Amino acid sequence: MFALYGAKNAVVTGSINTVITGSTRGIGLGLAREYLRRGHSVMISGRNQQTCDQAVTLLQAELATNRVFAQVCDVTDIGSVEALWDSASATFGRIDHWINNAGRNNPKAQLDKIDWPEIESTIDTNLLGVIRGSVVAYRGMLRQGSGWIFNMEGFGAEGMIGLEQVPYGVTKYGVRYVTKALVKTAAGSPVCIGYLSPGMVTTEMAVPQADRRDEFFFKNRKVLNILADHVETVTPWLVERMLVARKNGTAIRWMGFARAAGRFMLSLVYKRHVIEEAMSRQDNQPTLETSNDV
């Protein structure tokens, strides 16, 4: 049995019911897997029925569980996000954790060389999608009396500038702002807000498939090998900490300064090959989705 703590430390025991946007692959799928491994219930979501069905089939076969469900959701559509809440609420009775994970990368190029539809789509998915998900979940959790919302951070949240990642970085900087505001909004309410940061993870967003590996990727491979981790390394750590989070405003961040500094020091004597491992996996296994949306 688990205890779920709200803003006033009210305790709810039993299975945690979790909704994860953008969870048919990558980090989202990894988070779903770890909740299920611990006996909790998960509703995954993606932009089309086929990938949702594939992910459910995969998790059911892998974990022999009947606790995984799916709902198509496009986070750029408020009606679709509301339908995700309604479906999960009807399935579970209540929603304890809502994770805004859905995201996409922009093509690696300087801002003036990126087509406008790519810029617009990145902002609509990564930033406005988080706002839509947060508003829908917050309203629903106020009605049900408790719950946690976790927003996924990424490169740019700390204010770092990458000239070939401007649209993506802007969205993650904005997500940090939105989450800070939500923490203040939720103060004194039965809802808690948390920050979630997985660091660099070897999903397709960081390690593109063979036909999409560009100069930017190969130029940064050395640093990626130092700092990046596989999904199965990071997601158990994140889920364990979400399950025991108690305080509104909790920040769960895998790659802090100390860990990053240690990685660079270790790289002087030990070479990691996580990027090569990820490329080998991708080249030898089919993926559930092939776009740069999650």
pLDDT at 154 over 70: yes
Q: What residues form DSSP beta bridges with 72? A: 46
Q: What is the pLDDT of residues 241-287, one digit of tens each?
A: 999 999 999 999 987 777 867 777 878 888 887 777 777 776 665 44
pLDDT score at 203: 75
What 8-state DSSP symbol labels residue 124? I
pLDDT at 138 over 50: yes
pLDDT score at 21: 99
Q: What is the pLDDT of residues 67-100, one digit of tens each?
A: 999 999 999 999 999 999 999 999 999 999 999 9
Distance between CA 29 and CA 294 in Å, rounded? Answer: 10
Structural domains of the chain, with CATH: 2-202+230-257 (3.40.50.720)
N-term to C-term CA, the chain: 31
Sequential DSSP letters for 193-234: EEEEE--SB-STTTS--GGG--HHHHHTHHHHHHH-B-HHHH
Beta carbons within 8 Å of 95's beta carbon, 6+ residues apart:
17, 18, 19, 85, 88, 89, 137, 140, 141, 144, 147
